[in-house]
Amino acid sequence: MAINYLSCISETPEKPLNVVIIGGSLAGLMQGIVAKRLGHNVRILEQFESAKREGQAAGMSIMEYGTAFLKAYDTLHEVPFAISCPGVQILDRTAKVRLQIARPLTMTSWNVLYYRLRANFDGLTSSYCPEAPLPTTQEGHAVYEHGKMVTNVRCSDGDIAVEYADENGGGALSSDLVIAADGSTSRVREMLLPGLQRTYSGYAIWRGTVPEQDITETTRGLFKDRTNLMATRNGYIALYTIPGENGTLEPGQRLLNYVWYVNYPEGSSELAAAMTDTTGKRHRNTLPIGKMDPTVWNKQKAIAQEMLPREYYEVISKTTQPFISVVSDIASSQASFFNGKLLLVGDALVPFRPHVACSTNQAALDALLVNKLLTGEIGLTQWETRVMGYANVTRLRSITWGCWYQVGYMSYGVSKARHLLAVVIEGLRGFWYG
Protein backbone atom coordinates (compact mmCIF):
# COMPACT_ATOMS: atom_id res chain seq x y z
CA MET A 1 0.00 0.00 0.00
CA ALA A 2 1.11 3.57 -0.64
CA ILE A 3 1.04 4.51 3.04
CA ASN A 4 3.86 1.98 3.48
CA TYR A 5 5.64 3.47 0.50
CA LEU A 6 5.28 7.00 1.88
CA SER A 7 6.49 5.79 5.26
CA CYS A 8 9.58 4.37 3.59
CA ILE A 9 10.56 7.59 1.85
CA SER A 10 9.50 10.15 4.48
CA GLU A 11 9.73 10.30 8.28
CA THR A 12 6.50 12.34 8.28
CA PRO A 13 4.29 10.66 5.64
CA GLU A 14 1.25 12.63 6.77
CA LYS A 15 2.90 15.86 5.58
CA PRO A 16 3.46 17.00 1.99
CA LEU A 17 6.55 15.53 0.37
CA ASN A 18 9.42 17.60 -0.94
CA VAL A 19 9.89 16.28 -4.48
CA VAL A 20 12.83 17.08 -6.76
CA ILE A 21 12.40 16.26 -10.44
CA ILE A 22 15.48 16.11 -12.64
CA GLY A 23 14.57 17.17 -16.18
CA GLY A 24 11.94 19.69 -17.20
CA SER A 25 10.72 18.27 -20.48
CA LEU A 26 7.37 16.50 -20.98
CA ALA A 27 7.96 13.53 -18.65
CA GLY A 28 9.26 15.75 -15.85
CA LEU A 29 6.36 18.18 -16.19
CA MET A 30 3.79 15.38 -16.10
CA GLN A 31 5.34 14.03 -12.92
CA GLY A 32 5.44 17.51 -11.44
CA ILE A 33 1.77 18.16 -12.19
CA VAL A 34 0.74 14.88 -10.55
CA ALA A 35 2.73 15.52 -7.39
CA LYS A 36 1.65 19.16 -7.16
CA ARG A 37 -2.04 18.31 -7.52
CA LEU A 38 -1.68 15.83 -4.65
CA GLY A 39 -0.46 18.67 -2.44
CA HIS A 40 3.28 17.93 -2.53
CA ASN A 41 5.93 20.59 -3.04
CA VAL A 42 7.78 20.15 -6.32
CA ARG A 43 11.01 21.61 -7.67
CA ILE A 44 12.05 20.85 -11.25
CA LEU A 45 15.73 21.18 -12.17
CA GLU A 46 16.25 21.75 -15.90
CA GLN A 47 19.71 22.12 -17.42
CA PHE A 48 18.47 24.25 -20.34
CA GLU A 49 19.21 27.88 -19.47
CA SER A 50 16.21 29.67 -20.97
CA ALA A 51 12.49 29.57 -20.21
CA LYS A 52 11.90 29.59 -23.96
CA ARG A 53 12.11 26.04 -25.24
CA GLU A 54 11.92 24.63 -28.74
CA GLY A 55 11.47 20.91 -29.24
CA GLN A 56 13.08 20.77 -32.66
CA ALA A 57 9.55 21.43 -34.02
CA ALA A 58 8.99 17.72 -33.49
CA GLY A 59 5.57 16.27 -34.16
CA MET A 60 3.99 13.67 -31.91
CA SER A 61 0.87 11.59 -31.47
CA ILE A 62 -1.25 11.72 -28.32
CA MET A 63 -2.15 8.11 -27.57
CA GLU A 64 -4.27 6.42 -24.92
CA TYR A 65 -2.24 7.27 -21.82
CA GLY A 66 -1.52 10.78 -23.02
CA THR A 67 -5.23 11.30 -23.58
CA ALA A 68 -6.01 9.92 -20.11
CA PHE A 69 -3.40 12.19 -18.51
CA LEU A 70 -4.70 15.33 -20.19
CA LYS A 71 -8.28 14.44 -19.34
CA ALA A 72 -7.34 14.10 -15.68
CA TYR A 73 -4.88 17.00 -15.29
CA ASP A 74 -5.18 19.54 -18.11
CA THR A 75 -7.32 22.50 -17.00
CA LEU A 76 -7.07 24.30 -20.35
CA HIS A 77 -9.82 22.27 -22.00
CA GLU A 78 -11.14 25.26 -23.95
CA VAL A 79 -7.82 25.80 -25.74
CA PRO A 80 -7.45 23.42 -28.72
CA PHE A 81 -4.00 21.96 -29.20
CA ALA A 82 -4.11 19.07 -31.67
CA ILE A 83 -5.15 18.00 -35.16
CA SER A 84 -7.49 15.07 -35.69
CA CYS A 85 -5.98 12.69 -38.23
CA PRO A 86 -8.49 10.25 -39.81
CA GLY A 87 -5.90 7.55 -40.39
CA VAL A 88 -2.85 6.30 -42.23
CA GLN A 89 -2.25 6.02 -45.95
CA ILE A 90 0.49 3.96 -47.57
CA LEU A 91 2.03 5.37 -50.74
CA ASP A 92 4.26 3.67 -53.29
CA ARG A 93 7.45 5.19 -54.69
CA THR A 94 5.48 7.12 -57.28
CA ALA A 95 3.32 8.72 -54.55
CA LYS A 96 0.25 6.69 -55.52
CA VAL A 97 -1.99 5.78 -52.59
CA ARG A 98 -1.99 1.98 -52.26
CA LEU A 99 -3.75 1.52 -48.93
CA GLN A 100 -5.74 3.60 -46.49
CA ILE A 101 -6.17 2.52 -42.88
CA ALA A 102 -8.94 4.08 -40.81
CA ARG A 103 -7.07 4.63 -37.57
CA PRO A 104 -7.86 8.01 -36.01
CA LEU A 105 -4.86 9.76 -34.48
CA THR A 106 -4.40 12.96 -32.49
CA MET A 107 -1.37 14.90 -33.73
CA THR A 108 0.37 17.79 -32.02
CA SER A 109 3.93 19.05 -31.49
CA TRP A 110 6.47 19.08 -28.69
CA ASN A 111 6.27 22.86 -28.38
CA VAL A 112 2.49 22.89 -28.01
CA LEU A 113 2.44 20.21 -25.33
CA TYR A 114 5.43 21.62 -23.44
CA TYR A 115 3.90 25.07 -22.99
CA ARG A 116 0.53 23.55 -22.12
CA LEU A 117 2.11 21.46 -19.37
CA ARG A 118 4.12 24.44 -18.12
CA ALA A 119 0.91 26.46 -17.79
CA ASN A 120 -0.58 23.65 -15.71
CA PHE A 121 2.55 23.14 -13.62
CA ASP A 122 3.86 26.57 -12.65
CA GLY A 123 1.53 28.97 -14.45
CA LEU A 124 3.95 29.98 -17.21
CA THR A 125 2.20 32.13 -19.82
CA SER A 126 3.30 32.07 -23.44
CA SER A 127 2.07 32.69 -26.96
CA TYR A 128 0.85 29.09 -26.85
CA CYS A 129 -1.05 29.56 -23.58
CA PRO A 130 -1.59 33.29 -22.93
CA GLU A 131 -3.59 32.61 -19.76
CA ALA A 132 -2.57 30.12 -17.11
CA PRO A 133 -5.03 28.31 -14.83
CA LEU A 134 -5.31 29.52 -11.25
CA PRO A 135 -3.87 27.12 -8.64
CA THR A 136 -6.18 25.61 -6.06
CA THR A 137 -5.66 25.78 -2.32
CA GLN A 138 -5.04 22.03 -2.20
CA GLU A 139 -2.03 22.19 -4.53
CA GLY A 140 1.56 22.15 -3.40
CA HIS A 141 4.20 24.68 -4.40
CA ALA A 142 5.66 24.35 -7.90
CA VAL A 143 9.07 25.75 -8.89
CA TYR A 144 10.76 25.34 -12.27
CA GLU A 145 14.46 26.24 -12.28
CA HIS A 146 16.58 26.67 -15.42
CA GLY A 147 20.32 26.28 -15.86
CA LYS A 148 20.67 23.51 -13.26
CA MET A 149 23.01 20.73 -14.39
CA VAL A 150 22.67 17.77 -12.04
CA THR A 151 26.10 16.37 -11.23
CA ASN A 152 25.32 13.76 -8.58
CA VAL A 153 22.54 12.03 -6.68
CA ARG A 154 23.55 10.51 -3.37
CA CYS A 155 21.68 8.65 -0.66
CA SER A 156 23.15 8.26 2.81
CA ASP A 157 21.41 6.96 5.94
CA GLY A 158 18.07 7.22 4.19
CA ASP A 159 18.57 10.85 3.15
CA ILE A 160 18.68 11.60 -0.58
CA ALA A 161 20.24 14.72 -2.04
CA VAL A 162 20.67 16.12 -5.54
CA GLU A 163 23.82 18.05 -6.35
CA TYR A 164 23.85 20.49 -9.25
CA ALA A 165 26.03 23.04 -10.99
CA ASP A 166 24.85 26.45 -12.19
CA GLU A 167 26.20 29.91 -12.97
CA ASN A 168 26.35 30.69 -9.25
CA GLY A 169 28.56 27.75 -8.39
CA GLY A 170 25.89 25.13 -7.76
CA GLY A 171 24.48 23.57 -4.64
CA ALA A 172 22.59 20.60 -3.23
CA LEU A 173 18.94 19.89 -2.46
CA SER A 174 17.62 17.38 0.04
CA SER A 175 14.26 15.81 -0.67
CA ASP A 176 11.89 13.02 0.23
CA LEU A 177 11.55 11.80 -3.35
CA VAL A 178 13.65 12.27 -6.49
CA ILE A 179 12.18 11.57 -9.92
CA ALA A 180 14.70 11.36 -12.75
CA ALA A 181 13.09 12.39 -16.04
CA ASP A 182 16.15 13.69 -17.86
CA GLY A 183 15.52 12.05 -21.21
CA SER A 184 17.05 9.42 -23.45
CA THR A 185 20.61 10.56 -22.73
CA SER A 186 19.94 10.56 -18.97
CA ARG A 187 22.91 11.53 -16.82
CA VAL A 188 21.16 10.10 -13.77
CA ARG A 189 20.75 6.70 -15.45
CA GLU A 190 24.45 6.78 -16.28
CA MET A 191 25.31 7.56 -12.64
CA LEU A 192 23.12 4.77 -11.29
CA LEU A 193 23.98 2.15 -13.91
CA PRO A 194 27.43 3.05 -15.26
CA GLY A 195 27.81 -0.29 -17.04
CA LEU A 196 24.96 0.32 -19.50
CA GLN A 197 26.09 0.70 -23.09
CA ARG A 198 24.22 2.44 -25.91
CA THR A 199 24.11 0.49 -29.19
CA TYR A 200 23.72 2.03 -32.63
CA SER A 201 20.71 0.81 -34.63
CA GLY A 202 22.26 1.21 -38.07
CA TYR A 203 20.24 4.24 -39.13
CA ALA A 204 19.42 7.88 -38.44
CA ILE A 205 16.41 10.13 -39.01
CA TRP A 206 16.27 13.41 -40.90
CA ARG A 207 13.51 15.70 -39.67
CA GLY A 208 12.01 19.02 -40.64
CA THR A 209 8.84 21.05 -41.04
CA VAL A 210 7.41 23.31 -43.73
CA PRO A 211 4.38 25.64 -43.44
CA GLU A 212 1.39 24.42 -45.44
CA GLN A 213 1.15 27.78 -47.19
CA ASP A 214 4.58 27.19 -48.76
CA ILE A 215 3.45 23.94 -50.39
CA THR A 216 1.49 23.60 -53.64
CA GLU A 217 -2.19 22.66 -53.49
CA THR A 218 -1.47 19.40 -55.32
CA THR A 219 1.01 18.24 -52.69
CA ARG A 220 -1.19 19.38 -49.81
CA GLY A 221 -4.12 17.54 -51.36
CA LEU A 222 -2.13 14.30 -51.52
CA PHE A 223 -1.13 14.35 -47.86
CA LYS A 224 -4.47 15.83 -46.60
CA ASP A 225 -4.16 15.63 -42.81
CA ARG A 226 -3.28 11.93 -42.85
CA THR A 227 -0.19 10.12 -41.62
CA ASN A 228 1.58 9.22 -44.86
CA LEU A 229 4.07 6.35 -45.05
CA MET A 230 6.27 5.52 -48.02
CA ALA A 231 9.09 2.95 -48.29
CA THR A 232 12.33 4.20 -49.82
CA ARG A 233 15.41 2.45 -51.16
CA ASN A 234 17.03 2.17 -47.73
CA GLY A 235 14.33 3.03 -45.24
CA TYR A 236 11.04 4.91 -45.25
CA ILE A 237 9.56 8.34 -44.69
CA ALA A 238 6.58 9.39 -42.57
CA LEU A 239 4.84 12.74 -43.14
CA TYR A 240 1.94 14.30 -41.26
CA THR A 241 0.40 17.64 -40.26
CA ILE A 242 1.00 19.31 -36.89
CA PRO A 243 0.07 22.69 -35.34
CA GLY A 244 1.89 25.74 -36.63
CA GLU A 245 3.58 28.69 -34.96
CA ASN A 246 2.21 29.41 -31.48
CA GLY A 247 0.05 26.30 -31.79
CA THR A 248 -2.24 27.59 -34.53
CA LEU A 249 -4.55 25.01 -36.12
CA GLU A 250 -5.51 27.31 -38.99
CA PRO A 251 -5.22 25.51 -42.36
CA GLY A 252 -2.39 27.01 -44.34
CA GLN A 253 -0.53 28.05 -41.18
CA ARG A 254 -0.04 24.53 -39.88
CA LEU A 255 3.16 22.58 -40.53
CA LEU A 256 3.93 19.51 -42.60
CA ASN A 257 6.29 17.45 -40.46
CA TYR A 258 8.39 14.60 -41.85
CA VAL A 259 10.62 11.87 -40.41
CA TRP A 260 12.94 10.30 -42.99
CA TYR A 261 14.74 7.12 -41.90
CA VAL A 262 18.08 6.47 -43.67
CA ASN A 263 20.57 3.64 -43.12
CA TYR A 264 24.20 4.51 -42.42
CA PRO A 265 26.96 1.98 -41.66
CA GLU A 266 28.44 2.53 -38.22
CA GLY A 267 31.46 4.80 -38.47
CA SER A 268 30.62 5.89 -42.03
CA SER A 269 31.95 9.20 -43.30
CA GLU A 270 28.44 10.17 -44.47
CA LEU A 271 27.01 9.88 -40.95
CA ALA A 272 30.02 11.64 -39.42
CA ALA A 273 29.56 14.56 -41.82
CA ALA A 274 25.83 14.77 -41.14
CA MET A 275 26.40 14.89 -37.37
CA THR A 276 29.07 17.62 -37.60
CA ASP A 277 27.75 21.16 -37.21
CA THR A 278 28.83 24.43 -38.81
CA THR A 279 31.48 25.00 -36.11
CA GLY A 280 33.09 21.61 -36.69
CA LYS A 281 31.67 20.02 -33.53
CA ARG A 282 30.46 16.45 -33.96
CA HIS A 283 27.28 15.58 -32.08
CA ARG A 284 26.68 12.11 -30.70
CA ASN A 285 22.87 11.91 -30.68
CA THR A 286 21.16 14.92 -32.30
CA LEU A 287 22.47 17.76 -34.42
CA PRO A 288 20.31 20.72 -33.32
CA ILE A 289 18.20 22.99 -35.48
CA GLY A 290 20.21 25.80 -37.03
CA LYS A 291 23.52 23.91 -36.88
CA MET A 292 23.29 21.91 -40.12
CA ASP A 293 26.22 22.32 -42.54
CA PRO A 294 24.64 23.72 -45.77
CA THR A 295 26.88 21.48 -47.89
CA VAL A 296 25.58 18.38 -46.11
CA TRP A 297 21.97 19.50 -46.43
CA ASN A 298 22.34 20.30 -50.12
CA LYS A 299 23.70 16.79 -50.66
CA GLN A 300 20.75 15.28 -48.79
CA LYS A 301 18.31 17.33 -50.87
CA ALA A 302 19.98 16.03 -54.03
CA ILE A 303 19.48 12.48 -52.75
CA ALA A 304 15.82 13.31 -52.07
CA GLN A 305 15.36 14.68 -55.57
CA GLU A 306 16.82 11.52 -57.09
CA MET A 307 15.06 9.05 -54.77
CA LEU A 308 11.70 10.48 -53.75
CA PRO A 309 8.53 11.45 -55.65
CA ARG A 310 8.04 15.10 -56.54
CA GLU A 311 5.59 15.73 -53.69
CA TYR A 312 7.98 14.51 -50.99
CA TYR A 313 10.91 16.30 -52.57
CA GLU A 314 8.94 19.54 -52.58
CA VAL A 315 8.49 19.38 -48.82
CA ILE A 316 12.11 18.45 -48.13
CA SER A 317 13.56 21.03 -50.53
CA LYS A 318 11.59 23.82 -48.82
CA THR A 319 12.83 22.89 -45.33
CA THR A 320 14.85 25.75 -43.87
CA GLN A 321 15.67 24.25 -40.45
CA PRO A 322 16.45 20.53 -40.84
CA PHE A 323 18.06 18.38 -38.17
CA ILE A 324 19.22 14.79 -37.80
CA SER A 325 19.22 12.28 -34.95
CA VAL A 326 20.99 8.96 -34.60
CA VAL A 327 18.70 6.07 -33.57
CA SER A 328 20.21 3.93 -30.82
CA ASP A 329 19.14 1.62 -28.00
CA ILE A 330 19.71 1.61 -24.25
CA ALA A 331 17.51 0.30 -21.43
CA SER A 332 17.59 0.44 -17.67
CA SER A 333 17.08 -2.83 -15.83
CA GLN A 334 15.14 -1.19 -13.00
CA ALA A 335 12.98 1.85 -12.30
CA SER A 336 13.34 2.22 -8.52
CA PHE A 337 16.50 2.97 -6.56
CA PHE A 338 17.44 3.65 -2.92
CA ASN A 339 14.38 1.81 -1.58
CA GLY A 340 12.02 3.84 -3.70
CA LYS A 341 13.43 7.27 -2.92
CA LEU A 342 14.49 7.69 -6.55
CA LEU A 343 12.29 6.77 -9.51
CA LEU A 344 13.48 6.62 -13.11
CA VAL A 345 10.75 7.47 -15.64
CA GLY A 346 10.07 8.12 -19.32
CA ASP A 347 12.94 8.08 -21.80
CA ALA A 348 15.39 8.15 -18.88
CA LEU A 349 14.13 4.67 -18.01
CA VAL A 350 13.88 3.18 -21.51
CA PRO A 351 13.88 5.23 -24.72
CA PHE A 352 12.07 3.77 -27.74
CA ARG A 353 12.95 3.94 -31.40
CA PRO A 354 10.76 6.65 -32.98
CA HIS A 355 8.76 4.25 -35.21
CA VAL A 356 6.10 3.59 -32.55
CA ALA A 357 5.79 7.24 -31.42
CA CYS A 358 5.24 6.10 -27.82
CA SER A 359 7.66 8.22 -25.77
CA THR A 360 4.97 10.68 -24.67
CA ASN A 361 2.62 7.78 -24.03
CA GLN A 362 5.20 6.21 -21.72
CA ALA A 363 5.75 9.51 -19.90
CA ALA A 364 2.00 9.83 -19.31
CA LEU A 365 1.61 6.23 -18.12
CA ASP A 366 4.51 6.57 -15.68
CA ALA A 367 2.95 9.75 -14.26
CA LEU A 368 -0.51 8.18 -13.93
CA LEU A 369 1.04 5.24 -12.10
CA VAL A 370 2.99 7.55 -9.77
CA ASN A 371 -0.37 9.06 -8.84
CA LYS A 372 -1.60 5.58 -7.90
CA LEU A 373 1.62 4.94 -5.99
CA LEU A 374 1.37 8.13 -3.95
CA THR A 375 -2.34 7.69 -3.19
CA GLY A 376 -2.13 4.08 -2.06
CA GLU A 377 -3.79 2.31 -4.95
CA ILE A 378 -0.61 0.36 -5.76
CA GLY A 379 2.66 -0.34 -4.01
CA LEU A 380 6.24 0.19 -5.15
CA THR A 381 6.71 -3.35 -6.48
CA GLN A 382 3.54 -3.15 -8.54
CA TRP A 383 4.47 0.32 -9.83
CA GLU A 384 7.89 -0.86 -10.96
CA THR A 385 6.47 -4.03 -12.53
CA ARG A 386 3.98 -2.05 -14.59
CA VAL A 387 6.33 0.69 -15.80
CA MET A 388 9.07 -1.82 -16.64
CA GLY A 389 6.56 -4.08 -18.39
CA TYR A 390 5.32 -1.32 -20.67
CA ALA A 391 8.84 -0.08 -21.30
CA ASN A 392 10.26 -3.48 -22.25
CA VAL A 393 7.37 -4.57 -24.48
CA THR A 394 7.24 -1.23 -26.30
CA ARG A 395 11.02 -1.09 -26.73
CA LEU A 396 10.99 -4.50 -28.40
CA ARG A 397 8.06 -3.48 -30.58
CA SER A 398 9.94 -0.37 -31.71
CA ILE A 399 12.98 -2.49 -32.58
CA THR A 400 10.74 -4.89 -34.51
CA TRP A 401 9.36 -2.04 -36.61
CA GLY A 402 12.88 -0.83 -37.27
CA CYS A 403 13.98 -4.28 -38.42
CA TRP A 404 10.99 -4.54 -40.78
CA TYR A 405 11.65 -1.23 -42.50
CA GLN A 406 15.41 -0.84 -42.21
CA VAL A 407 17.07 -4.25 -42.00
CA GLY A 408 15.33 -7.30 -43.51
CA TYR A 409 13.00 -10.22 -43.02
CA MET A 410 15.36 -12.46 -41.04
CA SER A 411 16.19 -9.78 -38.50
CA TYR A 412 12.50 -8.88 -38.35
CA GLY A 413 11.53 -12.49 -37.61
CA VAL A 414 13.96 -12.76 -34.69
CA SER A 415 12.91 -9.40 -33.29
CA LYS A 416 9.22 -10.21 -33.65
CA ALA A 417 9.67 -13.47 -31.74
CA ARG A 418 11.35 -11.60 -28.88
CA HIS A 419 8.57 -9.04 -28.84
CA LEU A 420 5.83 -11.70 -28.72
CA LEU A 421 7.63 -13.54 -25.93
CA ALA A 422 7.82 -10.30 -23.94
CA VAL A 423 4.09 -9.73 -24.50
CA VAL A 424 3.31 -13.19 -23.10
CA ILE A 425 5.61 -12.71 -20.09
CA GLU A 426 4.13 -9.32 -19.24
CA GLY A 427 0.63 -10.72 -19.63
CA LEU A 428 1.43 -13.42 -17.07
CA ARG A 429 2.96 -10.82 -14.74
CA GLY A 430 -0.13 -8.67 -15.09
CA PHE A 431 -2.32 -11.65 -14.19
CA TRP A 432 -0.14 -12.42 -11.17
CA TYR A 433 0.21 -8.88 -9.83
CA GLY A 434 -3.23 -7.62 -10.89
Task: State how far the alpha carbon of 284 is from the alpha carbons of 103, 255, 274, in Å.
Answer: 35, 28, 11
Cα atoms in the Cβ-side hemisphere of radius 13 Å centred on 176: 20
**What's the rounded Cα separation, in Å, for the pair 257 and 59?**
6
Positive or negative: CA dihedral 336, 337, 339, 343 = negative
pLDDT at residue 6, as a whole number: 86
Chain-wide mean pLDDT for the chain?
92
Task: State how far the alpha carbon of 368 is from the alpha carbons of 71, 359, 360, in Å.
Answer: 11, 14, 12
Lowest mean pLDDT among 13-17, 132-136, 191-195, 216-220: 132-136
Other Cβ atoms within 10 Å of 157 Cβ, number: 4
Lowest mean pLDDT among 3-17, 230-244, 276-290, 359-373: 3-17
pTM more than 0.95: no
**What's the rounded Cα separation, in Å, for the pair 330 and 310?**
37
What lies within 8 Å, CB to CB, of 397 at 6+ separation is: 356, 419
pLDDT band at 209 (very low <50, low <70, confident <90, very high): very high
For residues 190-216, give the mean pLDDT: 96
**What's the rounded Cα separation, in Å, for the pair 130 and 116?**
10
pLDDT at residue 55, as a whole number: 59
pLDDT at residue 409, as a whole number: 64
